[in-house]
Structure 1
Amino acid sequence: MKIRSQLVEFTAVEDALRGVQGVRNAAVVARPGPSGDLRLVAYIEPDGEQPSLTVLSGQLKRRFPVVPAQYIFLESLPTTATDKVNRRLLPEPAGHRPQLDVAYLAPRTPLESMVARIWADVLGIDPVGIHDNFLDLGGDSLLASQVITRVMDSTSTALPIATLYAAPTIAEMALSITRQKLQMLPASDIEKILANIEPGNKP
């Protein structure tokens, strides 16, 4: 099957996942993403301690042009009478935050809250933490374009799509937006802002 114009052998991806320490069994299927395009979803049956997403995705990225956009951990994969994975019984990805290697941290500022709402709408995931990586949430180039367009419209900034790969978290993106807005201000306004935040100055 082709995913994003790339031929994908599901069995090869599954075999690679089973070769990762901490994976007892794995199944990979194609599911429609938030934008309607097909993407890979991996279902993992852990063997003891659950492997991290960084390890799983890192192993696959070295071998395959397309990797799962989402990893779902199940206590055991559903099987048929012949002990094969019953793909029909694999649950649909829920629209909530997946299990990530970073703890959830809510937005701290109005700007982070605005960016988080855009990410949640585009990715179909809620909530989204400010340190969650865009790619770990299932983001791809098509979704990145949608995020960047909406962020630019909401903040009146000009952000290249590469911004989302250089700053792949909400916290980093909000910082990039703030820096760009500061660059657009007259030097006199920047001096006033800096004067107000220097130690010893009162608002």
Structure 2
Amino acid sequence: LDGRGDHQVKIRGFRIELGEIEALLNKHPGVQENIVIVREDQPGDKRLVAYLVPEQSHILTIGDLRRFIEAKLPRYMIPTAFVTLDALPLNPNGKVDRLALPIPDTARPELEEAFVAPRTPTEQILAEIFAQALEVEQVGIHDNFFELGGHSLLATKLVAQLLKRVEVEVTVVDLFEVPTVAGLAERMEKIQTLEKLSHPPLEMADEREEIEI
């Protein structure tokens, strides 16, 4: 866990006030209470994680929470993982015991999109790379990279891994514009089509008849 006494942290060059994120999440009608911390479960991979206790009558979804805070906060302040708990763990002094907060599960989180398995070899490759980069067990073709915890640094790593396995010039911009396996697979097909059109096969030279002398 990382952070200073005033709950200001620095991730990927950005200074972030954790209290600002917590205050906004508390305004969501489905959130009873929450705490946001920085985890570094893998060396060098700092990420924001929000732990929430939902209102009993409300069903929280990651997509709903992300849309709620994305409208008011920059992307670098959006938690990469949301963990729902029955209650926040407390220490003997009645304060949140940050060390007792669980590591986010690697299982696919509850998303608004139903899980749809890859249908083509390209989608299969993309799903594997998405899952590896995001450290989750599986990724559906319509799952949003950023709703699964993706961020700019992970996007760069994902594209680098992708370029090692396919011969299509995909960029980080492509991933930001189409952040799903299905969307990126379709974008890759379009890129391949454009490359073929811009580099047509050489026309065969006209055959010349040999003339006997």
TM-score (norm 2): 0.80
For residues 110-141 of structure 1, the C-alpha deviation after alignment (integer angstroms, 9 at most, x for no partner) is 11111111111111111111111011111111
Matches within 5 A, 1:78-97: 78-97=89-108
- Corresponding position: 1:143 with 2:151: no
Cα 1:76/1:12, change in 2 over 3 Å: same
- Corresponding position: 1:43 with 2:73: no
- Tell me the equivalent position of 2:67: 58
Cα 1:103/1:53, change in 2 over 3 Å: same
- Tell me the equivalent position of 1:182: 193
SS state at 2:141 partner:
coil
Matches within 5 A, 1:116-131: 116-131=127-142
Cα 1:34/1:159, change in 2 over 3 Å: farther
Aligned length: 188
Higher mean alpha-carbon deviation, 57-66 vs 159-168, is at 57-66
Q: CA contact under 8 A between 1:34 and 1:124: conserved in structure 2? A: no
Q: Of the candidates 63, 68, 79, which is equivalent to residue 68 of structure 1? A: 79
SS state at 2:39 partner:
strand
- Tell me the equivalent position of 1:20: 28
RMSD: 2.1
Task: Return the letter of the residue paired with 2:32.
Answer: R
- Tell me the equivalent position of 2:206: none
Percent identity of paired positions between Structure 1 and Structure 2 = 34
Cα 1:155/1:23, change in 2 over 3 Å: same
Q: Of the candidates 116, 121, 132, which is equivalent to residue 105 of structure 1? A: 116
Q: Which has the larger radius of gyration?
A: 2
Q: CA contact under 8 A between 1:34 and 1:123: conserved in structure 2? A: no
Normalized per residue, which structure has more helix? 1
TM-score (norm 1): 0.84
Mapped to 2, the partners of 1:64 and 1:82 lie a distance apart of: 32
- Corresponding position: 1:157 with 2:165: no
Report the Cα offset of residue 83 of structure 1: 3.2
Report the Cα offset of residue 33 of structure 1: 6.4
Q: CA contact under 8 A between 1:30 and 1:38: conserved in structure 2? A: yes
Gaps of 5+ in 1: 190-203
Instruction: Report runs of 4+ in structure 1 exceeding 6 Å deviation.
Output: none
Mapped to 1, the partners of 2:17 and 2:50 lie a distance apart of: 13
Report the Cα offset of residue 35 of structure 1: 7.1
Mapped to 1, the partners of 2:113 and 2:43 lie a distance apart of: 26
Q: CA contact under 8 A between 2:61 and 2:110: conserved in structure 1? A: no
Q: CA contact under 8 A between 2:89 and 2:101: conserved in structure 1? A: yes
